[in-house]
């Protein structure tokens, strides 16, 4: 449509004006905003852009691959991947308190991102180039409220706080600053980004780390990823993606209950489904998903995910509940 086309051309032209022939860096979180911002800058200045993806191992099934393979294929962007799964796992070992987990994930993310930045700066310096700009996927509502956002919020708050050493000061490029989420999705689709990325639900920066109630371990992450993938696949198959704002799937790792499966007793963990309807995540209501869909999700998760013997539905609005459990 002509409006999206105009936004795209206008932004590409602005980005070219701002960046000139300098080098620019952009963090990808796996979310929509950073992906669309990066794709716009790539369209405007091509190879002058390097994207950084810190893989903290806390994303959902398939998401890291969608960034590393599908996003790169769709845009041709230069991508620097920092494989930091082990770093995050060891930093989170033995930690169950939600705020402590959030702080650790935020801190490690900043450190990992800075290390990646330094590597890219050094590489550019070796070629006699300097990185002058940093892209951020700030949306209009972020500008107004300076809250919310997706995974990129980690990068956002970090760089906005200005806690960077002198040699890492960048000028910001914010190509989504005038746009709302639906416009960002439209621009992303126009730029040829995969639907899995453009249509993605909001997902918290700390990722699955705050969807495991209890200590975060590799085994628990793998288990939760499986359960989450089943729940998402069934929601999509039922054609209800657009009817829910987001559907966190939560593992109660510190809770066990007795069950029976085959002819044996089980003592496993519950999985919580948290489908919500919302306009802006400030308030939310629990989604009245069809019972047969809930039954399919429950059957599949208890049959296919080892260690889970119960699926429960969260029927709390926000307030008093929050959307995420931690």
Annotated binding site: 29-35
- In the complex with ligand XMP, the residue whose CB is nearer, 207 or 270, is 207
CA gap 206, 315 in Å, rounded: 24
Minimum distance between the CB of residue 279 and ligand XMP, rounded to whole angstroms?
Answer: 12
Q: Enumerate the β-bridge partners of residue 285.
A: 277
- Look-up of token digits 């995969």: 194
Q: Which of 59, 47, 56, 44 is nearest to 13 (CA)?
A: 44
Q: Note the residues at the interface with ligand XMP (CB under 6 A).
A: 149-151, 153, 202, 204-206, 246, 281, 318, 322-324
What gap in Å lies between CA 289 and CA 244, rounded to an integer? 9
- Cβ nearer to ligand XMP, comparing 13 with 196: 196
Q: What gap in Å lies between CA 258 and CA 271, rounded to an integer? A: 14
Q: Which is nearer to ligand XMP, 96 or 317 (CB)?
A: 317
CB of 249 to ligand XMP, least distance (A): 12
Closest CA to 63 of 293, 232, 212: 232
* Distance of closest approach, residue 65 Cβ to ligand XMP, in angstroms: 21
Q: Which is nearer to ligand XMP, 131 or 273 (CB)?
A: 273
Pairwise CA distance, residues 253 & 189, whole Å: 38
Q: How far is the CB of 37 from ligand XMP (least distance, A)?
A: 15
Which of left, alpha, beta for 128 (phi over 0: left; psi -120 to 50: alpha)?
left
């Amino acid at each position: 449509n002509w409006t999206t086309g105009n936004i795209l051309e206008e932004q590409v032209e602005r980005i070219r004006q701002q960046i000139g022939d300098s080098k620019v860096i952009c963090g990808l979180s796996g979310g929509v905003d950073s992906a669309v911002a990066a794709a716009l800058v790539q369209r405007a200045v091509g190879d002058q852009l390097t994207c950084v993806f810190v893989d903290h191992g806390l994303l959902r099934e398939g998401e890291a691959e969608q960034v590393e393979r599908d996003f790169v294929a769709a845009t041709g962007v230069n991508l620097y991947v920092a494989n930091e799964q082990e770093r995050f796992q060891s930093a989170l070992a033995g930690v169950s308190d939600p705020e402590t987990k959030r702080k650790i994930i935020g801190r490690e993310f900043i450190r990992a991102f800075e290390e990646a930045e330094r590597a890219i700066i050094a590489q550019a310096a070796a070629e006699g180039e300097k990185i002058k700009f940093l892209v951020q996927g700030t949306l209009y509502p972020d500008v107004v409220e300076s809250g919310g956002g997706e995974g990129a919020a980690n990068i956002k708050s970090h760089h906005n706080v200005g806690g960077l050493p002198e040699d890492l000061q960048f000028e910001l490029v914010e190509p989504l600053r005038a746009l709302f989420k639906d416009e960002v999705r439209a621009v992303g689709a126009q730029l040829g980004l995969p639907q899995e990325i453009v249509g993605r639900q909001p997902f918290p920066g700390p990722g699955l780390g705050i969807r495991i109630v209890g200590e975060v371990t590799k085994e628990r992450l793998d288990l939760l990823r499986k359960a989450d993938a089943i729940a998402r696949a069934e929601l999509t198959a039922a054609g209800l993606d657009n009817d829910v704002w987001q559907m966190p799937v939560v593992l109660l790792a510190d809770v066990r209950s007795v069950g029976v499966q085959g002819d044996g007793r089980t003592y496993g963990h519950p999985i919580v489904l948290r489908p919500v309807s919302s306009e802006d995540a400030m308030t939310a209501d629990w989604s009245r998903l069809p019972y047969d869909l809930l039954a399919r999700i429950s059957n599949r998760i208890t049959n296919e995910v080892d260690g889970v013997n119960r699926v429960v539905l969260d029927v709390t609005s926000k307030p008093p509940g929050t959307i995420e459990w931690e």
